[in-house]
Amino acid sequence: MADRTYLDWPFFEPHHGELARRLDAWAGEHLGAHAGGDVDGQCRELVRQLGQAGWLSHAVAGRDVGGHADAIDTRAICLIRETLARHDGLADFAFAMQGLGSGAISLQGTPEQRRRYLSRVASGQALAAFALSEPQAGSDVAALACSARSEGDSYVIDGQKTWISNGGIADFYVLFARTGEAPGARGISAFVVDADQPGLHIAERIDVIAPHPLARLEFRGCRIPASARLGAAGEGFKLAMRTLDVFRTSVAAAALGFARRALHESIAWARSRQMFGQSLADFQITQTKIAQMATLLDAASLLTYRAAWLRDQGRRITREAAMAKMTATENAQQVIDMAVQMHGGMGVRKGCIVESLYREIRALRIYEGATEVQQLIIGKDLLRG
């Protein structure tokens, strides 16, 4: 469907290109035909399909628990997200949440936690969620207030989480809560909380412009065993950031997928649309627009796969992931806006692909750290020297 010459870039190994091509063929056959309406049911079905076909094995680390490899392969995750997003935004969401929601377990889980959760995530039998944001702690996430009080062999959780993707349909939540070892970021720990744990309530379902399952959670005296803590007490913030290094880069990849689809749709439209006695593609204004779109996309793609490649070499990529996420989401928004414009009235008609891409891309500039937050990360990192 789209130009895939980027698969020959030196960031990739031969198996990466093969993975992307196989997934592209599978997605062409199985995705993109949602009836609309029941978004929860569609997500569950997509997770089941992705699990059954083996794609979710790339969302977890550890061959012993159904993972494709023993370590997270960032480039594979990015290529999968880019490919799925190009075909179907909800399929990308379903894959991404299995990875983001279980990433902290892949990185830091005990053998028992890994056995209990990761194999079900990889097979599509359990849905995962990542519960970090709160009503008063979004960008300023180190200010989170949800508390986990240690009581003997348990922790008792009280507080709220909001904007939680898969909220309401997840089987478990990786939760970040204040345990108070130190002020700020150093007093936060991570936990795995089963969705049916007494004291955990779905307080509100939230609708957004590109619908997917989303909720506000309330914890009222929710008692979990101490063995549900992930990693050391007070180390939860670092674990959240390590998880985000991978998944921020993959948000950039999803943005590339949406933008690549928009470019593809625009080229096809420009060739077929007739006006003033010729095709839209024959006008130089159209040619410059297509050139801008393709260049914005390649620039974003280079930053994204640089970050993914660096992480797979074992390097710290906080700055590179921030550059990739910021550039890819901002560039994709521009590319998609140009695609809508080029489609004229058709561009805003419900059911037109570029109309749905226009809604899909918007939240990516906000979640997992808004563009302004990425700028702060990059600037501070450079000034620190």
Ligand X SMILES: Cc1cc2nc3c(=O)[nH]c(=O)nc-3n(C[C@H](O)[C@H](O)[C@H](O)COP(=O)(O)OP(=O)(O)OC[C@H]3O[C@@H](n4cnc5c(N)ncnc54)[C@H](O)[C@@H]3O)c2cc1C
Active-site hit among 45, 134, 368, 372: 368
> Under rule CB under 6 A, which residues in 156-175 are in contact with ligand X?
163-165
- Residue selected from 102, 113, 119, 133 as contacting ligand X according to rule CB under 6 A: 133
Nearer to ligand X, 241 or 376 (CB): 376
* Helix H or strand E segment including 27: helix 14-30
- Collect contacts of 334-339 with beta carbons under 8 A, ≥24 apart: 334/296, 335/259, 335/262, 335/263, 335/293, 335/296, 335/297, 336/258, 336/259, 336/262, 336/361, 338/262, 338/266, 338/289, 338/292, 338/293, 339/262, 339/263, 339/265, 339/266, 339/293
Minimum distance of ligand X from residue 366's CB (angstroms): 5
Nearest to 213 by CA among 166, 171, 172, 162: 166
Q: Which amino acid is at 384?
A: R
Nearer to ligand X, 79 or 373 (CB): 373
Nearer to ligand X, 214 or 321 (CB): 214
Asked if 258 interacts with ligand X (CB under 6 A), we say no
Minimum distance of ligand X from residue 363's CB (angstroms): 4
Minimum distance of ligand X from residue 261's CB (angstroms): 19
Nearer to ligand X, 20 or 60 (CB): 60
Asked if 64 interacts with ligand X (CB under 6 A), we say no
Asked if 217 interacts with ligand X (CB under 6 A), we say no
Minimum distance of ligand X from residue 164's CB (angstroms): 5
- Residue selected from 156, 185, 352, 366 as contacting ligand X according to rule CB under 6 A: 366
Minimum distance of ligand X from residue 373's CB (angstroms): 5
Count the Cβ atoms, other than its own, within 10 Å of residue 272: 10
- Residue selected from 302, 367, 378, 381 as contacting ligand X according to rule CB under 6 A: 367
| Separation of alpha carbons 79 and 343, rounded Å | 28
Quick one: which segment of 34-42, 61-69, 188-196, 371-379 binds ligand X (CB under 6 A)?
371-379
368 in catalytic set? yes
CB within 8 Å of 71: residues ≥ 6 apart: 61
Asked if 89 interacts with ligand X (CB under 6 A), we say no
Asked if 43 interacts with ligand X (CB under 6 A), we say no
- Supply the DSSP symbol for 9: S
What would the x/- binding string for ligand X be over residues 334 to 363, using CB under 6 A? -----------------------------x
Nearest to 269 by CA among 359, 340, 356: 340
Nearer to ligand X, 235 or 368 (CB): 368
- Residue selected from 232, 268, 372, 379 as contacting ligand X according to rule CB under 6 A: 372
User: 30: exposed, middle or buried (C-beta count within 10 Å: 0-12, 13-18, 19+)?
Assistant: middle
Q: Are strands 172-178 and 128-131 parallel, antiparallel or unpaired?
A: parallel
- Residue selected from 230, 320, 368, 377 as contacting ligand X according to rule CB under 6 A: 368
| Separation of alpha carbons 304 and 311, rounded Å | 11
Nearer to ligand X, 231 or 369 (CB): 369
CB within 8 Å of 261: residues ≥ 6 apart: 1, 2, 85, 86, 87, 353, 357
Inter-residue contact 171 to 219 (CB < 8 Å): no
Binding residues (CB under 6 A) for ligand X: these are: 130-133, 138-139, 163-165, 208, 214, 363, 366-370, 372-373, 376
**Which residues are annotated as catalytic?**
368
